[in-house]
Amino acid sequence: MESEARLRLSPAQVRALAAEFGTPLYVLDEAHLRGRLQRYQAAFSAVHPRTELTYASKANSTLAVLRIAYQEGFQIDVASGGELAAALAAGVPASHCHLHGNNKQLAELEYAISAGIGMIVLDNEPEIATVARLNPSVPCVLRLAPGVDPVTHAKISTGQADTKFGFNIGDGSAERATKLALSLGLNLIGFHCHVGSQLLDPEAQRAGGEGITQFAVAMAERHGFVATYLNVGGGLGIRYTEEDVPMPVEDYCRLIVEAVTMAFHGTVLEGVELTLAQEPGRSCVGESGVTLYQVGVIKKVPAKDGQRTYVCVDGGLSDNPRPALYGSQYPVELVPAEDRSTWDYEVDGPGAAFGIPREQIVTISGKHCETDRLFPDVALPADVQVGDFIQVGCTGAYNASMASNYNRYPRPASVLVRTDGTFALVQRRETYEEVLMREQLPEGL
């Protein structure tokens, strides 16, 4: 089955949203998001009898998104006390949350356990001892580093041996941790891995799933521990560019299930009632969101190869740090402030016969005190004007959740386009007062 298209608002929607809520603005489409989550559920449950989907809330922890994910039957992966607080505020019971983190603070563990957390993903030996002391009955899994190196940006690659996350299988740490957890009477139910993010070649996830399954078999054979839960993490990529062609969710779920069941086949664990889990983030919400900016200054400057046109928008590094962090690319589109009957049409180029506007290659940059080239080398209609809007696709994941107040910019608002087409503000724009709220000047300064 072909994937549904990524969210792309109509020019009328863009103008209406900008007029009502201002820019920069994060916009999420509820029907698109629900459709995506439902498709994951259907695809996964079609290929295995006992499945569990957990939404990785780091991708977008806006309360509305957490509520929707929960309503669509997802558990919620929280990687901090703050993300747990968000899930609880969204009405998600703690029993439906899984606590992650490579350096969980004692206060976070205490908070999660006293709230009634559904599962803890254990990452290191001191944590095993702490959980055993606080409450050994909480269901736990061990995060494993299966030693697979995914093809993705180094900063979002986590499954390799040289990683701060989890217990290494190859060097014996994972087996030691299993023995420790069992000896301390923890309610260990299985294993977990997450090998990386924005993965377009699913081989790493397949290998990760296979690796933790083989490990589970070894633990059954050597220590009599029968795992009933395996979580292969998230990581499926999305379509930021034309070249990004992720596997359809249906094929991906089948591939994961096959990897695990084949590794179980003919072993002591064959026949065990295994719950197979995944915890996607980006591929749930990324394509359901866009960001709207307004064009301010347009500047032509001399460049090495002639001239560069900077189209400066009213956002940047503070609402989307991913281009600066990973060189990420996005689908970018110009939406004129109002319909222009006099587009600067090509008169002699290939677009002439079709009324396609002439294009120019520009650099869209932000407003920060960095050279924040948000989107270099973008083709925009040549008559881009001050006041026009830029619609950036695929920003539903790792944008709002990674936003900062750099340069003291208030963070943007988020709006949900409801299933009936109306707009609902789900996170209002920050104010200057809020940006300064935590500070005080010492007496006498």
Ligand X SMILES: Cc1ncc(COP(=O)(O)O)c(C=O)c1O
Q: Which stretches of the chain bind ligand X, using CB under 6 A?
A: 56, 58-59, 77, 100, 194, 197, 233-236, 279-283
Cα 70 to Cα 299: distance, rounded to the nearest angstrom: 46
We find the least distance from the C-beta atom of residue 162 to ligand X, in angstroms, to be: 16
Question: Cβ closer to ligand X: 15 or 194?
Answer: 194
- CB of 256 vs ligand X, minimal distance in Å: 13
∠ CA 348-351-357, rounded to 5°: 100
Kind plus residue range of the DSSP H or E element containing 322: helix 322-326
Hey, CA dihedral for 111, 113, 117, 122, is it positive or negative? positive
Which of 36/367 has CB closer to ligand X? 36
Kindly give the pairing relationship between strand 229-231 and strand 275-278: parallel
Quote the DSSP letter at residue 23: S
Sign of the four-CA dihedral 406, 408, 411, 412: negative
Q: What is the residue-wise DSSP string for 203-251?
A: HHHHHHHHHHHHHHHHHHHHH-----EEE----B---SSTT--PPPHHH
- Report the nearest approach of ligand X to the CB of residue 190 (Å): 15
First to last CA, the chain: 65
Question: What backbone phi and psi angles, to 5 degrees, belong to 297?
Answer: -75, 140
Q: State in angstroms the smallest separation of the CB of 166 from ligand X.
A: 9
CB of 142 to ligand X, least distance (A): 13
Catalytically active residues, by annotation: 369
Do 212 and 192 form a contact (C-beta atoms < 8 A)?
yes
Beta bridge partners of 68: none
The minimum distance between CB 31 and ligand X, in angstroms, equals 21
Q: Give the nearest residue (CB) to ligand X.
A: 234
Query: Nearest 5°: phi and psi at 304?
Result: -50, -45
- Which residues partner with 364 through β-bridges? 311, 375
Q: Point out which residues pair with 139 in neighbouring strands.
A: 187
225: nearest Cα among 165, 266, 185: 185
Q: Are 233 and 146 in contact (CB under 8 A)?
A: no
What's the closest the beta carbon of residue 338 comes to ligand X, in angstroms?
37
What count of residues does the chain have?
445
